[in-house]
Amino acid sequence: MLNIEPNLANPDAFYEALIDMHRELTTEQSHLVNAKLVLLLANHIGDVSVLHDAMRRARDSEAQP
């Protein structure tokens, strides 16, 4: 089950770190870094049903008008 309830001890700090990760990167480099991040996290999670759920949620919110 994908956890969609708050799970980060410090959401603001996480968000800052996420944006910081991209500092001084071109958009193209940032895309690559994001892709790597997705892959690293996906492997860490491992459970495909959780991953599918996350993929569906990520995509559904995009497909909505």
Six token digits for residue 52? 């599918």
Does the protein bind another protein through residue 27 (CB under 8 A)?
no
Q: What is the DSSP string of the chain?
A: ----S---S-HHHHHHHHHHHTTT--HHHHHHHHHHHHHHHHHHH--HHHHHHHHHHHHHHHH--
Nearer to another protein, 30 or 53 (CB): 30
User: Binding residue for another protein (CB under 8 A) from 13, 39, 41, 48?
Assistant: 39
Does the protein bind another protein through residue 36 (CB under 8 A)?
yes
Does the protein bind another protein through residue 35 (CB under 8 A)?
yes
Choices 3-11, 12-20, 27-35, 56-64 (CB under 8 A): range interacting with another protein? 27-35
